[in-house]
Structure 1
């Protein structure tokens, strides 16, 4: 299939090149970058051999790496993509689009991303990769999750995402350790297996094949792959597939909190990074993001109110969870946490829908466990 061959060709080349020059490009583009528009908790940036703690307004360049611990961060690129990096994530920005650079390529080593793309023009690309997978998008909202020892998880909220295995072209040179039949099945499965996910669909991955692709990529990169190591993998009849996975009200709400600030502000911050005039722009970023996220939170609140749900059974059926919110003033609400952004929680309870600050909440109690948002005094 022409589309699949093209997709693999592009990412075969990017995979090989990126091993040696993350973020490098023959054409220097000072506008290639992304700006931190919102952050919470501890965020570390590795850039040019140094590790620094992230702050609002920082510019991320191609080749930079972000590690989140107990925190999360939102970034907006020069082109307008918005990327949320959640807790306990490790992300490498191999490419970031600018005026002349057409690609944004985000590599997820571990963790969870939520991505909102812009409508891309011909020749422009946005991709999220893991050690075994590549997801190419065009105007969409989706999540990409990778836990250690697990297969990648991709779910689409809006638009469409094409997902395929990412393997080295050297695979075609390696057929020792596999019978000819199994080798041919493996190559066919990898070359022909592309899944296009649409809203309300998630990725299903054959864990055996995912493990094999990981082995191939890691060993080929190190030049140590032995054909004998392939012999134990014979389950090649299936690779990628998709399944229905309805977008939950909480997921829909979180996607709405992925707000976009005016592109002029982002561009000005990127272009003025190497000057001493960025403080005023950073203040503007904080103000504009605050305005946009309050608009988003108000819309989420209004949408929850429109459902008219006012008893525990209805709330549980709608949100698939029932929680008890213990407020700092002693009041107890029964319902569900719909969304959280920063220190603001939206709670849909039997008494109504409320926006509560973190300091207003002592803890949230679930059926079998508790998550404390504040230590009791």
Structure 2
């Protein structure tokens, strides 16, 4: 006998709306935007259906989409957040903070983000979402990764991030599928799984529950959810949890390379773009970012040198990797690539710590594969 159950799917999106303020004010704000401060490779920006190649100084607006393939791009918002979109990513900027718009809402369809927030005031929010997850932050550095066919990965380097499932707030009429007991377990699991991640912690997601949330979101949007489609999902007891995940020296170094340029320069560029020009500020952006990243790379190299490691085993234990760096002049270094930003590599080897340009390196040899940095002549 089929039991009719009314499922009020208020799940976590309803609870999170007040916290992260989704669907923020869409009032006109000419200052709302993020400026491209650094990029590598080919980056595509879609604005109002028109696609173009990104360049330094471009302003990304609410509603714009960025796709990276073999490339990455750093952006800085009017408010000061710095966002790195890594290779093979597809990102939609649902909202970007400005002078009067209080929220930045970044939706990741696929790929990997590294985000450095600023200290937010009351009523201001920064959120990163995927089809099934929402992460809300305040003054933090964290990564958010989503591979197709997988569950989101969130890791915190500084500050704290609140992560929750994102589900539809609509009512669903089910005539079959979940028993009342399983439905109550599902609601309880979703409502109670608001995980706060702190430095050195990463998110663990129940794949079964993640799949169910995705199904609910997709089917409800299409108006085609049926009760029997939920019948196979019974593992509701564990939704979100966290586990210790040490921040590696390489991760720490990469977070440090996410540099911010003077806020005045970003604001000036947005204003110039609004006026139809931006060449002068673009030059300022390039210079400011170059100076900042040179400073940071010097600091990373100095910190690596302070460890005093000069033995292969010590270097391997510290960085959890051992690589062979083949230089263009024929020299060979044994050690680890600590960081890379642009054309500069920081290499910690048994012979010391070096800053090498991409032209200095023929290739880097790992345990079972090679990464070619430039074509052999």
- TM category (shorter chain) comes to over 0.9
Partner residue in 1 for 2:8: none
Pair 1:352-2:352 in alignment = yes
Pair 1:10-2:18 in alignment = yes
Partner residue in 2 for 1:280: 280
Identify the range of structure 1 (264-273 vs 125-134) with the bigger mean alpha-carbon deviation.
264-273
Secondary structure of the residue that 2:348 maps to in structure 1?
Answer: strand
CA–CA distance in 1 between the matches of 2:195 and 2:172? 22
CA–CA distance in 2 between the matches of 1:274 and 1:168? 37
CA distance change for structure 1 residues 48 and 231 in 2, over 3 Å: closer, same or farther? same
CA–CA distance in 2 between the matches of 1:98 and 1:117? 14
CA–CA distance in 1 between the matches of 2:243 and 2:376? 43
CA distance change for structure 1 residues 28 and 192 in 2, over 3 Å: closer, same or farther? same
**Deviation at residue 353 of structure 1 after TM alignment:** 0.3
**Deviation at residue 173 of structure 1 after TM alignment:** 5.1
CA–CA distance in 2 between the matches of 1:13 and 1:343? 39
CA–CA distance in 1 between the matches of 2:325 and 2:150? 32
CA distance change for structure 1 residues 177 and 310 in 2, over 3 Å: closer, same or farther? same
Please say if residues 13 and 165 of structure 2, whose CA atoms lie closer than 8 Å, have aligned partners that are also in contact.
Answer: no
CA–CA distance in 1 between the matches of 2:237 and 2:192? 11
**Deviation at residue 7 of structure 1 after TM alignment:** 4.6
Partner residue in 2 for 1:238: 238
Question: What TM-score comes out, normalization by structure 1 length?
Answer: 0.94
Partner residue in 1 for 2:195: 195
Please say if residues 338 and 347 of structure 2, whose CA atoms lie closer than 8 Å, have aligned partners that are also in contact.
Answer: yes
**Deviation at residue 191 of structure 1 after TM alignment:** 1.1
Deviation digits for residues 72-129 of structure 1, max 9, x if unmatched?
0000000000000000000000010011111000000000000000000111100000
Partner residue in 1 for 2:128: 128
Pair 1:81-2:81 in alignment = yes
CA–CA distance in 1 between the matches of 2:365 and 2:17? 50
Please say if residues 8 and 191 of structure 1, whose CA atoms lie closer than 8 Å, have aligned partners that are also in contact.
Answer: no
Partner residue in 2 for 1:155: 155
Partner residue in 1 for 2:258: 258
Pair 1:309-2:309 in alignment = yes
CA distance change for structure 1 residues 313 and 13 in 2, over 3 Å: closer, same or farther? closer
Secondary structure of the residue that 1:355 maps to in structure 2?
Answer: strand
CA distance change for structure 1 residues 213 and 271 in 2, over 3 Å: closer, same or farther? same
Higher relative contact order at CA 8 Å, sep ≥6: structure 1 or structure 2?
A: 2
Please say if residues 193 and 239 of structure 1, whose CA atoms lie closer than 8 Å, have aligned partners that are also in contact.
Answer: yes
Secondary structure of the residue that 2:267 maps to in structure 1?
Answer: helix
Pair 1:323-2:323 in alignment = yes
Partner residue in 2 for 1:225: 225
CA–CA distance in 2 between the matches of 1:330 and 1:260? 37
Please say if residues 324 and 334 of structure 1, whose CA atoms lie closer than 8 Å, have aligned partners that are also in contact.
Answer: yes
**Deviation at residue 8 of structure 1 after TM alignment:** 2.2
Cα RMSD of the aligned pairs, angstroms, is 1.6
Secondary structure of the residue that 1:100 maps to in structure 2?
Answer: coil
Please say if residues 12 and 166 of structure 1, whose CA atoms lie closer than 8 Å, have aligned partners that are also in contact.
Answer: no
Please say if residues 20 and 126 of structure 2, whose CA atoms lie closer than 8 Å, have aligned partners that are also in contact.
Answer: no
CA distance change for structure 1 residues 93 and 303 in 2, over 3 Å: closer, same or farther? same
Pair 1:113-2:116 in alignment = no
Partner residue in 2 for 1:362: 362
CA distance change for structure 1 residues 26 and 376 in 2, over 3 Å: closer, same or farther? closer
Q: Structure 1 stretches (4+) deviating beyond 6 angstroms?
A: none
Partner residue in 2 for 1:21: none
CA–CA distance in 1 between the matches of 2:171 and 2:271? 42
CA–CA distance in 2 between the matches of 1:102 and 1:256? 26
Please say if residues 30 and 274 of structure 2, whose CA atoms lie closer than 8 Å, have aligned partners that are also in contact.
Answer: no
1:164-175 map, 5 Å: 164-170=164-170, 174=174
**Deviation at residue 27 of structure 1 after TM alignment:** 1.6
Partner residue in 2 for 1:269: 269
**Deviation at residue 272 of structure 1 after TM alignment:** 1.8
Secondary structure of the residue that 2:170 maps to in structure 1?
Answer: helix
Query: Which structure 1 segments of 5+ residues have no match?
Result: 18-23
Secondary structure of the residue that 2:73 maps to in structure 1?
Answer: strand
